[in-house]
Structure 1
Amino acid sequence: MGVPTRDELPDVVRDVCGSHLALLDERVPGLVDGLYLHGSLGFDGEFHGGSDIDFVAVTSRRPTQVETDALRGIHAEIDKRWPEPHHDGFYVTADDLAGSPDVVPDGPGVLHQWFDVGTHCDVKHITWRELRDHGITLRGKDLRDLTIWSDDAALHASTRENLDTFWRSQLEAMEHHPREASLPQAAEWGALGAPRLVHLLVTGRPTSKSGAGRWAREAYPHHREIVEEGLRVRERPDDPSTYAADPDRRRRDLIAFMTEVIADGVAVPGPAER
């Protein structure tokens, strides 16, 4: 199917985004020129229980304080109507997308029901690339008609840095919080999230969480069981787990797998180095 059209999106995604657009029209008319989705939804419409709806809103100007307060109220209303799935994203201008995400000024955004003005965690190179190649247009210019900045070397460097900093710190945290690291949700998060970045570094192409799991299953056959566990939790949560009798083994396998893939990803040379 490739990148889905709006009509091919899951009902809940259409409902949440439709309400978002209606509230924008009602409370801040003329502010938002375009609304777009990125993330796993852009890869064959992949959406499972626990998935988020990741959006980027393109504004006609920088929001005023009054408009920012209105946006805060809009997202509070969306969160009240739909506690799940999380509707996460940020507001930028078309000029922002035409340049590097490294220089985008602080702006409004929401993450897991927390609305704030600052540097949103998804204002980064992978978001620009996903929008360019796998984004979904809900309103405004088609993404293929927008100028979206992207640079292979910068994308590679930022992805490698993410592995070497954030993901290493999360790995260390798992060592200190064994109960949380033994949960099924940890397997989905780590066994699919870390190889998702490594897949990008190795192939040069972004993929979904499930796509990363299918790739890791072949790339790391000796870790197949923990990868299958991550895919099970994401795609088939009602299926039995091979770790049901020993969740601590799931934690040990997850840490061993993440340790290996993070080290492999950090070692992948960038385009210039190749």
Structure 2
Amino acid sequence: MDTRIPECIRPILADYLLSLRTELPDLIDACYIHGSIALGAFNPHLSDIDFITILTRRATAQEVENLKAVHQELELIYPQWKLEGSYLQWEDLGRSQQEIAPYPYYHDRVLRSAGYHDVNLVTWWVLKHRGISIIGLPSQMLAFAVDWNLLQIKMKENLNSYWVSWTRSPSKVAYLLTDSGIQWAVLGVVRLFYTLREHDITSKTEAGRYALVHLPAKWHQLIQEAINLREIRHGSSYRSKVSRAVEAVRFLRYVINVCNEQAS
């Protein structure tokens, strides 16, 4: 197995592939790992095992049931790991959600027979440039390309809609009172900062470390706090979660403004 796959999750991936080959030998053509593992940032406490499995054709109803059985068995054997992924065909790769017919996908420990899951330009970019082949051609040889300019446009739209809502929505601002809210929002927005500045995609933790170098020192306490939370380091440098949340809102507004200024 590829050396980039962490040792601790190799058994579940090996059993996953064995089960697919046993239960659906004529249906599986390739399998790729993307997400945090492909970016070299797998966190055993937080990370999913993100996969895209390529089917030779559309799965029948019985084959979908077989896929459900495969995942149910893996859940019993490996309850500590969380698989997340889609069952696509070759012609689906690189396309927008609107261009793809509904497909089976596995999310939150449930196999859905048809729908859409985590198909976007970032997914395709990571798959193409960092993806790990478990079965099939190296990901760099896959027959699709990602339009970086379009990806940046979509990221800016996300910045000025989803991330702006974190500074305005009462429920999202309230979520910033939690540790998970802080690490999600602070590292999420600096990941966009990194991408728009460096024309590359990295993990949340690495984006946080990048921000410590490239953003003013006044924000370093908050950024380091988010990194520590992401890496499950106990203890906070803040006396109050309220003051931390207030600072997080200010930080989000600041980074959004910086990103918009450098994009203009």
- Could you state the TM-score of these two structures normalised by the residue count of structure 1? 0.86
Q: SS of the counterpart of 1:90?
A: strand
CA change 1:115–1:254 in 2 (3 A) is: farther
Give how far 1:134 is off. 0.8
User: 1:151, 1:56 → 2: CA distance?
Assistant: 20
In structure 2, what is the equivalent of residue 257 of structure 1? 251
Whole-Å separation in 2 of the counterparts to 1:171 and 1:83: 36
Does residue 148 in structure 1 map to residue 136 in structure 2? no
Q: Is the 8 A contact 2:38 2:131 kept in 1?
A: yes
Match of 1:191 in 2: 186
> How far apart, in 1, do the equivalents of 2:88 and 2:43 lie?
25
The residue number in structure 1 matching 2:203 is 208
Does the Cα contact within 8 Å between 1:102 and 1:124 map onto a contact in 2? no
Counterpart-to-counterpart distance in 1, 2:227 and 2:149: 30
Residue 88 (structure 1) aligned with residue 79 (structure 2): no
Partner amino acid for 2:247?
D
Question: How much does 1:82 deviate?
Answer: 3.0
1:136 aligns with 2:127: no
Aligned-partner residue type, residue 54 of structure 2: V
For 1:42 and 1:31, how far apart are their aligned partners in 2? 25
- 1:164-243 superposed matches below 5 A: 164-173=160-169, 175-176=170-171, 180-221=175-216, 222-235=218-231, 237-243=232-238
In the alignment, what sits opposite 2:240? 246
Sort the Cα spacing of 1:168 and 1:106 in 2 relative to 1 into closer, same or farther, 3 A.
farther
Contact in 1 for aligned 2:41/2:203 (Cα 8 Å) = no
Q: Which residue of 1 aligns with 2:29?
A: 33
Aligned-residue CA RMSD in angstroms? 2.3
Structure 1 residues 189 and 45: CA distance shift in structure 2, 3 A: closer
**CA shift at 1:202, angstroms?**
2.1
178-187 vs 210-219, greater mean Cα deviation: 178-187
* Deviation for aligned residue 1:100: 4.6
Q: Where does 1:33-72 land on structure 2 (aligned, <5 Å)?
A: 33-72=29-68
Deviation at 1:102, TM superposition (A): 4.7
Amino acid at match of 1:68: V
Q: Distance in 1 between matches of 2:138 and 2:159?
A: 32
Query: In the alignment, does 2:100 pair up with 1:104?
Result: yes
Separation of aligned partners in 1, 2:37 and 2:31? 14
Q: CA deviation at 1:193?
A: 1.3
CA–CA distance in structure 2, aligned partners of residues 182 and 55 of structure 1: 32
In the alignment, residue 29 of structure 1 is paired with which amino acid? P
Q: Is the 8 A contact 1:32 1:57 kept in 2?
A: yes
| 1:127-183 CA distance string (max 9 Å, x none) | 11001111111111111222133111221122222223333334444x336653212
Aligned length: 262
Aligned-residue sequence identity (percent) comes to: 27
How far, CA to CA, are the matches of 1:230 and 1:184 in structure 2?
8
Amino acid at match of 2:186: A
CA contact (8 A) 1:188 1:231 kept: yes
Looking at structure 2, the residues matched to 254 and 80 of structure 1 have their Cα atoms a distance apart, in angstroms, of 39
Amino acid across the alignment from 1:256: R
Q: Is residue 158 of structure 1 aligned with residue 136 of structure 2?
A: no
